[in-house]
Amino acid sequence: MNLAYVLGAISIILRYISLIILIPCLCALFFKEYNAMLPFIAASAISFGAGYFIRNKKKNVEEINNINKTEAFCIVLFAWFLTCLMGTIPFIYFGLTPLNALFESVSGITATGATILSDFSLYPKTMFFWRSFSQWLGGLGILVLFTVVLPQFSVAGRQMFYAELPGSKDSRLTPRIRQTAASLWSIYCILTIMEIIILALMKMPIFDAICTSMSTLSGGGFSPEAGSIMAYGQAKYVWTVAIFMFFAGFNFTLQYKVFIKRKFLSLFKDEEFRVYLFIIIIFTLIIAITLTTHNIYGFSKSIKEALFHVLSIMTTSGFASVDYSQWNLRAKLFLFILMFTGASISSATGGVKLLRLILIFKYMKRQIAKIHHPNGVYPIKINKVIINENIVRQMISFVFFYYGIFVLTAVILVFIEQDVVCGVTAAIATLGNIGPGFGDIIGPMGNYSLLSDASKIICIFNMFIGRLELIPFLALLHPDFWSFRKIKNLHNPK
């Protein structure tokens, strides 16, 4: 790995992050919270100073564009880690302990939505804007954004794009990765603006509409209200947020083809979308029937609440319109199952992602067929395209490691907290970037503040590697990741 290439890229990223961190100052100016500007100015100065300090004084854009896959993984890891660190500074200023501030920052930037806050009245609007804005920034990917706006990453962006979104390689729109990234961000921005307008027209306070919309499309779930969507108490907000959670959960590349390119037939030809829609419908009906037969709600309200929370869990948004931890065991069991699925590849959501589960299902189906016909040839296809065996093996390895990390961290959390429900659901809720779990402590109306420091550290670890989809983290475990090579002069290789 060429450390100079990595530092050169990180230097550029840090200097541009310093500009992004200043955006909440506009909110502070609008609401006349002038003191709330200080931590963002400080974080911006630190980020710019760090980027300036590690810069390569020579113009080496060509060298940065020579990065390989290992260096791309390293850049992604450090870019996300340093962004989370910079995002911690405002939370410390607003009174959180360093560990709690790091927890809230990581939860925001990874679009998890697991909060450490218990009393929302203690904090200014600027801080709540930063929570939602950080989710929106991290929802589609920090480096995906930089691939669009920074000419320095016109070539290197390809490696970083796939390192940050490892499942999206076969769903690109154009040969030029910059155009693909721009297309994803265009859909992302359009949907966010649409939700803001609709919620504002429905008389939701404009500040709440902005924060809620950014948290919805990012699959994050942070709300400026402690009671999440339930705090607004109106069905129209529940249905609106549910609709946009649905859009947040399916492939933005597919949305671009359908809504911008007007290739409407692509929608139902896509296997992952059909499975996504099928799961939403089936789980909504099952949970609604369960809630109705247990006399928790009438059937119409059962449908509304079931659909909202199926989408909230599946798209890893983590919003709540009621306290679903009070539901009967069967309804909660189906929500718990959804924590292990996630939504679509190339969406803003977390989790395993449905395409990986579809491939594994088809692989298992093939292995069963081979028991009866060992010499048979059974290619695995997605959307009628044969999938390379290497990709299938990578998918299986990913799911194996994902569930392995879940089991390991769940056991540790249960041991530390002495609470099975809290430990198990905290593990999957943070690894899947879902946010709230089950129970009185970390349920939809609770928070993570009562967990021990050791548990919070484990949850931070889960949120971080879960958002990066494990691959950059797993790259750390190979010795080649830590082997450094010298820079070669591009003009004089000798």
Please spell the DSSP secondary structure of 126-145, one letter per residue.
HHHHHHHHHHHHHHH-HHHH
* Reported confidence tier of residue 348, pLDDT bands at 50, 70, 90: confident
Tell me the per-residue pLDDT of 201-256, one tens digit each, with 9 for 90 and over: 999 999 999 999 999 999 999 999 999 999 998 999 999 999 999 999 988 888 88
Where helices occur in 54-124 by DSSP H, the ranges are 61-64, 69-93, 98-109
Q: What pLDDT was estimated at residue 37?
A: 96
Average pLDDT, rounded, for the chain: 87
**58 or 39: which leads in pLDDT:** 39
Alpha-carbon radius of gyration of the chain: 22
The CA–CA distances, whole Å, from 451 to 24, 292, 462 equal: 29, 34, 15
Cβ proximity of 218 and 245 under 8 Å: no
Q: What pLDDT was estimated at residue 490?
A: 39
Cβ proximity of 161 and 181 under 8 Å: yes
Q: What pLDDT was estimated at residue 259?
A: 86
Mean pLDDT of the region 186-196: 93
The CA–CA distances, whole Å, from 164 to 181, 258, 478 equal: 12, 24, 18
Whether 140 has a pLDDT exceeding 70, the answer reads yes
Kindly give, in sequence order, each residue whose CB lies less than 8 Å from that of residue 138, ignoring residues fewer than 6 positions away. 80, 83, 108, 109, 110, 111, 218, 220, 467
Q: What pLDDT was estimated at residue 267?
A: 87
Q: What pLDDT was estimated at residue 492?
A: 43
**326 or 140: which leads in pLDDT:** 326
Six-digit token string for 411: 């056991």
Rounded-to-integer distance, Cα 357 and Cα 287, Å: 22
Tell me the per-residue pLDDT of 302-319, one tens digit each, with 9 for 90 and over: 999 999 999 999 999 999
Six-digit token string for 359: 């491939």
Q: What pLDDT was estimated at residue 491?
A: 40
Tell me the per-residue pLDDT of 438-461, one tens digit each, with 9 for 90 and over: 988 999 999 999 999 999 999 999
| Number of Cβ within a 10 Å radius of residue 489 | 8
Six-digit token string for 155: 């070539």
Amino acid making up residue 237:
Y
Kindly give, in sequence order, each residue whose CB lies less than 8 Å from that of residue 285, ignoring residues fewer than 6 positions away. 306
Rounded-to-integer distance, Cα 461 and Cα 458, Å: 5
Tell me the per-residue pLDDT of 6-24, one tens digit each, with 9 for 90 and over: 788 888 889 989 999 999 9
Whether 164 has a pLDDT exceeding 80, the answer reads no
Host H or E run for residue 381: strand 381-382
**328 or 482: which leads in pLDDT:** 328
Tell me the per-residue pLDDT of 107-118, one tens digit each, with 9 for 90 and over: 999 999 999 998
Rounded-to-integer distance, Cα 165 and Cα 144, Å: 8
Where helices occur in 219-298 by DSSP H, the ranges are 235-249, 252-255, 265-269, 271-293
Share of the chain above pLDDT 70, in %: 87
Rounded-to-integer distance, Cα 186 and Cα 181, Å: 9
Whether 145 has a pLDDT exceeding 70, the answer reads no
Rounded-to-integer distance, Cα 94 and Cα 38, Å: 10
Q: What pLDDT was estimated at residue 173?
A: 47
Tell me the per-residue pLDDT of 356-411, one tens digit each, with 9 for 90 and over: 999 999 999 999 998 888 888 888 888 888 888 888 888 888 899 999 999 999 99
* Reported confidence tier of residue 320, pLDDT bands at 50, 70, 90: very high
Cβ proximity of 34 and 27 under 8 Å: no
Q: What pLDDT was estimated at residue 71?
A: 76
| Number of Cβ within a 10 Å radius of residue 173 | 20
DSSP state of 418: S
Q: How far does the chain reach from its first CA to its final CA, in angstroms?
A: 19
Mean pLDDT of the region 341-369: 90
Q: What pLDDT was estimated at residue 116?
A: 95
Q: What pLDDT was estimated at residue 489?
A: 44
Phi, psi of 254 (to 5 degrees): -65, -40
